[in-house]
Structure formats: structure tokens, C-alpha cells
């Protein structure tokens, strides 16, 4: 099970873009990873409130980020390698994460070779509210890999209790 989390430049649906992606691999936690993304030339929107939450500056992205093409290549390769039958990732916010992934892949001119599924794809409806309540009580660091790990570990606990 691969859990994805994305930090973004803000929440504006038409102007925000992904700045950090993290994937937690529940089966192989040591292979989990994250990376910062250098902004595409057309990506100028920046929400200072979002920066206060995640603590990532635009300078951090320009200095330490990878290109959008490299980001797409890494995601496609890793997800197909670790989820070969049905390449997919699980997200606690699939609409937002899909929106930002679509933004990334469109800017790079590449095809996303995996699906983004919600928690509802692996956990029955009767237990989702409890899981989301538990997630809301967590002190999320608002860094992609740390958040993905918290989500993945809590979700794994629910799946084991089946």
C-alpha cells in the first residue's frame, strides 16, 4: 500500500501547484521518499499562509527542488515498481492530490501512469469517519513524507483490525 501526500503553494484550485510530494510505502517503509519540486516558469502563485503552515519557502524549492520532469519520472517509476498490478496511490484528500498531480504532469508534458484513490477504496464506509477523526486529532507536521507516514500507519492499523 502506497500513501501519497502533497504540500502545495496554496489551496487555490486554479493557481496553486505542488511543491513537495511524499510517498509512504507501508510494505517497505525504508523505501519511502519525498522531494521538493522546482516551480515551473508559469507557476507564480504563492500563499504566504501556506508557507507558514508547511515551512517551505519558494527559495527552498528553487535551491533544493528537482525539475518537474524528474518528479514525474520518479513518481511513475516508483509507483509502477511497487504497485505493478494496479499502479495506484492512496490519499486522504484524493481530489486535491489528483489536482496537483495533474498540474505537475501537464506542466511536464507527461502522462501519469498511476491512479489516485481515496481511503474509501480500502476501508469500508462505516469505519472511515472514525479514521478521519483520528487523523484530525494528529499533530500533522505538514511535510509530505511525515504526513503520508502518519496517514499510512493509522490506516494500516484499521486494515489489520478487519
* Predicted confidence (pLDDT) per residue in 34-84, tens digit: 999 999 999 999 999 999 999 999 999 999 999 999 999 999 999 999 999
- What distance in Å separates the CA atoms of residue 120 and residue 109, rounded to the nearest whole number? 30
Of 65-79, 85-99, 100-114, 123-137, least confident by mean pLDDT is 123-137
Mean pLDDT of 74-103: 96
Report the pLDDT value the prediction gives residue 162, as an integer from 0 to 100. Answer: 62
Higher pLDDT, 123 or 37: 37
Its domain, for residue 83, covers: 2-160
Report the pLDDT value the prediction gives residue 159, as an integer from 0 to 100. Answer: 86
Structural domain count, the chain? 1
Q: What is the CATH number of the domain that holds 25?
A: 3.30.420.10
pTM of the model: 0.94
Report the pLDDT value the prediction gives residue 6, as an integer from 0 to 100. Answer: 98
Report the pLDDT value the prediction gives residue 138, as an integer from 0 to 100. Answer: 87
Report the pLDDT value the prediction gives residue 28, as an integer from 0 to 100. Answer: 97
Amino acid at each position: 500500500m502506497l500513501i501519497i501526500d502533497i504540500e502545495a503553494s496554496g489551496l487555490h484550485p486554479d493557481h496553486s501547484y505542488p511543491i513537495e510530494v511524499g510517498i509512504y510505502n507501508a510494505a517497505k517503509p525504508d523505501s519511502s521518499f519525498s522531494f521538493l519540486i522546482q516551480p515551473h516558469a508559469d507557476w507564480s502563485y504563492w500563499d504566504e499562509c501556506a508557507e507558514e503552515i508547511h515551512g517551505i519557502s519558494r527559495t527552498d524549492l528553487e535551491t533544493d527542488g528537482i525539475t518537474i520532469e524528474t518528479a514525474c519520472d520518479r513518481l511513475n517509476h516508483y509507483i509502477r515498481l511497487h504497485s505493478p498490478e494496479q499502479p495506484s496511490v492512496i490519499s486522504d484528500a484524493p481530489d486535491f492530490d489528483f489536482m496537483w498531480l495533474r498540474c505537475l504532469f501537464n506542466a511536464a508534458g507527461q502522462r501519469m501512469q498511476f491512479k489516485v484513490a481515496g481511503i474509501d477504496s480500502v476501508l469500508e464506509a462505516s469505519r472511515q469517519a472514525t479514521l478521519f477523526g483520528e487523523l484530525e486529532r494528529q499533530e500533522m507536521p505538514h511535510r509530505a513524507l511525515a504526513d503520508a507516514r502518519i496517514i499510512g500507519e493509522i490506516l494500516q492499523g484499521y486494515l489489520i483490525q478487519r
